[in-house]
């Protein structure tokens, strides 16, 4: 039985088309995926992401545990900073990717994927050590994302400027939005500037309504999971279960920047080393034939299967069918032409640079 | 619900229109386009192809998914609507104008619903 987020009734009220996703009932769309996608690119969109999981790591040895559990390095963070990282298993495969928020030297707030919540919590519990405690607080946290070029103007109507984080991947821990105490963070998953707001479930609907009301002039509309997926794909942001899995390393997923091999040790380091030279790479693909490539489409060079599409669809802003894929490294060069098996039909694709879109600019030629 | 009285329907939400000269147009219902959401790609058969009753003859893709479109008849494709290949969104804006194919030499016809019956069927499903 799927759970409802604290905003379920709000979604129904706004005409959301509800579907089951990662154990929750969530809106896949309201007005339509394309309209919602374009609103986020040109104005602003509001998303319920309360299904995401949250964990608190606390104690004198919190930092040492983070640096051992995750592939990124959290040593030089300031209070109020957020940092993205993969978390690996001992083979170097990815358990999950997550964002770590530093509240202070001994307290970290970690946001994980809904679909991995129980796996992550079990994994982390099993591997933390020394003076640290861990608590899964997912059920007492609601999350709303306000994204798009108009997000700042909307936020400024409700929150004094000094309480709005100004730097990408920074946050302010106790901000009042209406009557609700929130964590306000300058983060997102759309390729646009915007905010993610964490608050208590009982405050979620009021925060949502306040934002909708104040965003009317700017063209703010509610957005569903459909647009969330097309937006992140256009911005080439990886999604767990697609570009990352338990069996591929973050290096292969194109996340090498977030893997600090110079760190003394972390879980997965030996596994990554043991894999040797990189054999698989995440690439961008553009469809040059007729059709749409989607997840699980096999990729061929003649008769030889050389990879698989990890995410793909028609991207509204780019205006054409694109995708991301994991391919054998010798086929990863930009300009390489391949064929995708789209339901038994061969469709020509070309390897192109990622991302497809960056802050107002479509990069697909 | 928009269900033109002059059309016949299938339970898989296609419509068929008798053009009166032995030719028929086939498309998808307004209900179907609404359920599918924003359409971004259409795959059609070729002129001269034989399409078969109750089997897929085309597919449409929204941003989220691909769906097969089933033929209400066994017949030969006389003409395809190239306009929807270039602009799949016209199916969303007018499902009953955006025909997929015109067919002739109909040899078999599936069980079809009148507009009234189709409306009753949709109400049952809802």
Determine contact: B38 vs chain A, CB below 8 A. yes
Residue in B41, B63, B66 closest to A34 by CB: B63
* Low-confidence stretches of chain B (pLDDT beneath 50): none
Task: Report the residue of chain B nearest A342, measured CA to CA.
Answer: B66
Note which residues in 62-91 of chain B have CB less than 8 A from chain A.
62-64, 66
CA atoms within 13 A on the CB side of A52: 27
Q: pTM of this prediction? A: 0.92
Interface-testing mutation among B33, B60, B63, with chain A (most A C-beta atoms within 10 A) = B63
Mean pLDDT, rounded, for A33-59: 97
Mean pLDDT, rounded, for A73-92: 98
Kindly state the percentage of chain A with pLDDT values over 70.
100
- pLDDT of A1 reads 78
Maximum separation of any 2 CA atoms in chain A, in Å: 62
Q: What is the pLDDT of residues A121-159, one digit of tens each?
A: 999 999 999 999 999 999 999 999 999 999 999 999 999
Residue A10 tokens read as 């709000």
Determine contact: B61 vs chain A, CB below 8 A. yes
Inspect the interface and report whether the beta carbons of A292 and B66 lie closer than 8 Å. Answer: yes
Inspect the interface and report whether the beta carbons of A32 and B40 lie closer than 8 Å. Answer: no
Inspect the interface and report whether the beta carbons of B64 and A28 lie closer than 8 Å. Answer: yes
Among A222, A197, A187, CA closest to A37: A222
Inspect the interface and report whether the beta carbons of B66 and A294 lie closer than 8 Å. Answer: yes
Inspect the interface and report whether the beta carbons of A33 and B62 lie closer than 8 Å. Answer: yes
Inspect the interface and report whether the beta carbons of B64 and A34 lie closer than 8 Å. Answer: no
Confidence category of residue A203, pLDDT binned at 50, 70, 90:
very high
Determine contact: B43 vs chain A, CB below 8 A. yes
CA atoms within 13 A on the CB side of B5: 0
* Spatial distance between the Cα atoms of B118 and A2, rounded to a whole number of angstroms: 32
- Cα A3 versus chain centre, distance: 21
In this prediction, does ipTM exceed 0.85?
Answer: no
With the CA atoms of B75, B80, B84 and B86 taken in that order, what torsion angle do they form, in degrees rounded to the nearest 10?
150
Inspect the interface and report whether the beta carbons of B63 and A33 lie closer than 8 Å. Answer: yes
| Other beta carbons less than 10 A from residue B19's beta carbon | 12
For residue A291, the chain B residues in CB contact (below 8 A) are 41, 43
For residue B41, the chain A residues in CB contact (below 8 A) are 291-292, 314, 321
A193 has pLDDT over 90? yes
Residue A21 to chain B, least CA–CA distance (Å): 14
Residue in B43, B63, B66 closest to A230 by CB: B63
Q: What is the pLDDT of residues B97-108, one digit of tens each?
A: 999 999 999 999
- pLDDT of A329 reads 97
Determine contact: B34 vs chain A, CB below 8 A. no
CA atoms within 13 A on the CB side of B94: 7
For residue B64, the chain A residues in CB contact (below 8 A) are 28, 33, 226, 313
- pLDDT of A359 reads 86
Domains in chain A with CATH codes: 3-50+141-233 (3.30.1360.120), 53-138 (3.30.70.1400)
Determine contact: B56 vs chain A, CB below 8 A. no
Beta-ladder partners of A262: none
Radius of gyration of chain B (CA): 13
Mean pLDDT, rounded, for A41-60: 98
Q: What is the pLDDT of residues A232-252, one digit of tens each?
A: 999 999 999 999 999 999 999
- pLDDT of A365 reads 82
* Spatial distance between the Cα atoms of B32 and B27, rounded to a whole number of angstroms: 10
**3-state secondary structure at position B16:** strand
The region of weakest confidence among A41-55, A195-209, A321-335, B52-66 is B52-66
CB A119 within 8 A of CB A171: no
CATH topology assigned to domain B22-125: OB fold (Dihydrolipoamide Acetyltransferase, E2P) (2.40.50)
Mean pLDDT, rounded, for A64-81: 98
**3-state secondary structure at position B73:** strand
- pLDDT of A100 reads 98
Domain boundaries along the sequence of chain B = 22-125
- pLDDT of B8 reads 97
């Amino acid at each position: 039985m799927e759970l409802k987020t604290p905003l379920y009734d709000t979604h129904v009220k706004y005409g959301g088309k509800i579907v089951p996703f990662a154990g929750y009932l969530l809106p896949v769309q309201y007005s339509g995926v394309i309209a919602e996608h374009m609103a986020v690119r040109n104005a602003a969109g509001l998303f319920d992401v309360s299904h995401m999981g949250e964990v608190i790591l606390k104690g004198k040895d919190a930092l040492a545990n983070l640096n051992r559990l995750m592939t990124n390095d959290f040593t030089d963070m300031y209070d109020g900073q957020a940092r993205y990282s993969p978390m690996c298993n001992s083979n170097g495969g990815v358990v999950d990717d997550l964002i770590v928020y530093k509240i202070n030297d001994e307290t970290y707030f970690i946001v994980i994927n809904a679909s991995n919540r129980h796996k992550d919590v079990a994994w982390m519990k099993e591997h933390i050590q020394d003076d640290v405690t861990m608590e899964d607080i997912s059920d007492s946290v609601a999350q709303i994302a306000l994204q798009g070029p108009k997000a700042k103007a909307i936020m400024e109507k409700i929150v004094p400027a000094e309480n709005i984080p100004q730097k990408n991947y920074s946050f302010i821990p106790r901000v009042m939005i209406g009557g609700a105490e929130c964590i306000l963070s300058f983060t997102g998953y759309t390729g646009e500037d915007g905010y993610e707001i964490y608050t208590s479930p009982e405050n979620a609907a009021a925060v949502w309504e306040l934002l909708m009301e104040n965003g009317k002039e700017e063209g703010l509309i509610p957005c569903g999971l459909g647009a969330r997926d097309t937006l992140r794909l256009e911005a080439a942001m990886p999604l767990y279960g697609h570009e990352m899995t338990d069996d591929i390393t973050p290096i292969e997923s194109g996340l090498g920047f977030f893997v600090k091999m110079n760190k003394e040790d972390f879980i997965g380091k030996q596994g990554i080393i043991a894999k040797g030279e990189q054999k698989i790479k995440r690439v961008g693909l553009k469809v040059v034939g007729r059709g749409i490539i989607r997840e699980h489409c096999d990729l061929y060079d003649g008769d030889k299967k050389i990879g698989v599409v990890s995410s793909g669809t028609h991207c509204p802003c780019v205006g054409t069918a694109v995708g991301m894929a994991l391919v054998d490294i010798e086929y990863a060069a930009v300009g390489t032409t391949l064929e995708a098996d789209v339901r038994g039909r061969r469709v020509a694709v070309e390897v192109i640079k990622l991302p497809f879109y960056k802050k107002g600019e479509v990069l697909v030629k | 619900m928009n269900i033109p009285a002059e059309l016949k329907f299938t339970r898989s939400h296609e419509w068929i229109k008798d053009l009166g000269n032995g030719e028929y147009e086939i498309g998808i219902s307004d209900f179907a386009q609404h359920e599918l959401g924003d359409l971004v790609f259409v795959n059609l058969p070729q002129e001269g192809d034989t399409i078969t009753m109750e089997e897929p003859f085309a597919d449409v893709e929204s941003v989220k998914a691909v769906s097969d479109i089933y033929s209400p008849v066994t017949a030969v494709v006389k003409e395809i609507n190239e306009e929807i290949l270039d602009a799949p969104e016209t199916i969303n804006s007018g499902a009953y104008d955006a025909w997929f194919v015109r067919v002739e030499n109909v040899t078999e016809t599936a069980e079809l619903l009148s507009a009234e019956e189709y409306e009753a069927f949709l109400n049952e499903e809802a």
